[in-house]
Amino acid sequence: MKISTAIDNVDYQQLTLPEFQRGYVWNRGQVRGLMHSLYRQHPVGTLLTWTTEIDTAYLRGEAGAAPGPVNLLLDGQQRITSLYGVMRGHAPPFFQGDERSFTGLYFHAVDEVFEFYGPVKMTGDPYWVSVTEIFTRSVQEVVDDITSTVKGSDPDVGSLFSTLLKVRGIEDRDIYLEQITGRMYSIDEVVEIFNRINSGGTKLSAGDLALARICADWPEARTTFRRIQGTWAEHGYHFSLDWLLRCVTAVATGQARFTALRDISIPEFADALEATEKHVNFLLNLIGSRLGLDRDRVLSGRGAFSALCRYVHDNGGTISDHGEQQKILYWYLENLMWGRYSGSVETRLQRDLEAFSNSGIDGAIEELQKWRGSLEVRSSDFDWSTTGARFYPVLYMLTRTQGSKDLCSGIELTHDLLGASNDLHLHHIFPKALLYKAGYERSDVNALANMCFLTADCNIKISDSDPGDYMPVSASEQPGALESQWITTNRDLWQIDRFHDFLKDRRERLTKATNALLQSLYEGHVAFESDATLEAAAPTAVIAEDDVDDENASILKLANENSLAAPEIDGEVSDPATGEVIATADLLWRGGVQEGLTEPVALIRDLDADATTSLIDAGFHVFHTNAKFVWYLESGLGMDLDGDQIIGEPVPSD
pLDDT at 188: 66
What's the rounded mean pLDDT across residues 224-241? 91
Give burial (CB, 10 Å; 0-12/13-18/19+) of 454.
buried
Lowest mean pLDDT among 60-69, 186-195, 251-260, 372-381: 60-69
HSE value, Cβ hemisphere, 13 Å, CA-based, for 118: 12
pLDDT at position 168 over 90? yes
Least confident of 42-46, 196-200, 234-238, 534-538: 534-538
- pTM (global) more than 0.85: no
pLDDT of residue 18: 72
Q: H or E stretch including 130?
A: strand 128-130
How far is residue 649's CA from residue 23's CA, in Å, rounded to a whole number?
Answer: 31
Helix (H) or strand (E) holding 574: strand 568-574
| 3-state per-residue secondary structure call for 385-399 | ECCCCCCHHHHHHHH
CB atoms within 10 A of CB 274: 14
Residue 216: count of CB within 10 angstroms of its CB: 20
> What's the DSSP call for residue 422?
G
- Residue 541 has what pLDDT? 47
Residue 406 pLDDT: 95
Query: What's residue 429's pLDDT?
Result: 97
What's the pLDDT tens digit per position in 25-78? 888 888 999 999 999 999 998 888 888 765 454 455 544 445 567 788 888 888
Q: Cα-Cα-Cα-Cα dihedral of 513, 516, 517, 520, to 10°?
A: -160
Give the residue, 531 or 518, on which the prediction is more confident: 518
Q: CA-based angle 388:417:231, to the nearest 5?
A: 65
Which range has the worst mean pLDDT, 45-59, 167-181, 238-252?
A: 45-59
* pLDDT given at position 613: 83
Helical axes 499-523 vs 392-401, angle rounded to 10°: 70
pLDDT score, position 345: 85
Q: What is the rounded radius of gyration, in angstroms, for the C-alpha atoms of the chain?
A: 29
Q: Closest by alpha carbon to 564, among 595, 585, 587?
A: 595
**Mean pLDDT score, 430-437:** 94
Question: Residue 193: exposed, middle, or buried by beta-carbon count in 10 A (0-12, 13-18, 19+)?
Answer: middle
Contact yes or no for 428/454 (Cβ under 8 A)? no
Looking at residue 376, its pLDDT comes to 95
pLDDT at 67: 53
Q: What is the pLDDT of residue 68?
A: 61
Question: What's the pLDDT band for 106 if we cut at 50, 70, 90?
Answer: very high
Is the alpha carbon torsion for 175, 180, 182, 183 positive or negative? Answer: negative
Contact 607, 583 (CB under 8 A): yes
Q: Which of 272, 293, 273, 268 is nearest to 283 (CA)?
A: 293
**Band of residue 107 on the pLDDT scale cut at 50, 70, 90:** very high
Is-contact 506 512, C-beta < 8 A? no
Q: Say if CB 386 and CB 584 are below 8 A apart.
A: yes
What pLDDT was estimated at residue 546?
Answer: 44
Q: Could you tell me the pLDDT band of residue 187, with boundaries at 50, 70 and 90?
A: low
Average pLDDT over residues 428-432: 95
- Which helix (H) or strand (E) segment holds residue 312: the answer is helix 304-314
- Maximum CA pair distance of the chain? 88
CB-side exposure of 131: number of CA atoms within 13 Å? 33
**Per-residue model confidence as pLDDT tens digits over 467-481:** 999 999 999 999 999
- What letter does residue 539 receive in the DSSP assignment? P
Q: How confident is the model at residue 530 (pLDDT cuts 50, 70, 90)?
A: low
DSSP state of 22: -
3-state secondary structure of 572: strand
Among 175, 152, 160, 164, smallest CA distance to 82 is for: 175
CA distances from 257 to 311, 350, 613 (A): 17, 8, 31
pLDDT value for 2: 94
pLDDT at 647: 75
Q: Average pLDDT of the chain?
A: 85
Looking at the chain, the whole-number percentage of residues with pLDDT higher than 90 is 50
- At 20, the pLDDT band (50, 70, 90 cuts) reads low
Residue 474: per-residue pLDDT = 97
CA-nearest of 170, 216, 226, 162 to 189 is 216
Residue 194: count other Cβ atoms within 10 Å of its Cβ.
Answer: 24
Query: Which residues, 6+ apart, have CB-to-CB distance to 638 below 8 Å?
Result: 29, 30, 32, 33, 647
Instruction: Collect all residues with Cβ–Cβ distance below 8 Å to 162 and sequence separation of at least 6.
Output: none
The arithmetic mean of pLDDT across residues 624-644, rounded, is 83
pLDDT greater at residue 306 or residue 77 = 306
Give mean pLDDT, residues 594-607.
80
Per-residue pLDDT tens over the stretch 401-421? 999 999 999 999 986 654 444
Question: Over 50: is that where the pLDDT of 230 sits?
Answer: yes
Which has more confidence, 89 or 534?
89
In 3D space, the residue among 265, 266, 340, 270 whose CA is nearest the CA of residue 305 turns out to be 340
Phi first, then psi, for residue 496 (nearest 5°) are -60, -35
Is there a contact between 427 and 462 (Cβ–Cβ < 8 Å)?
yes
Task: Tell me what pLDDT residue 81 has.
Answer: 93
539 Ramachandran zone, left/alpha/beta (phi>0; psi -120 to 50): beta
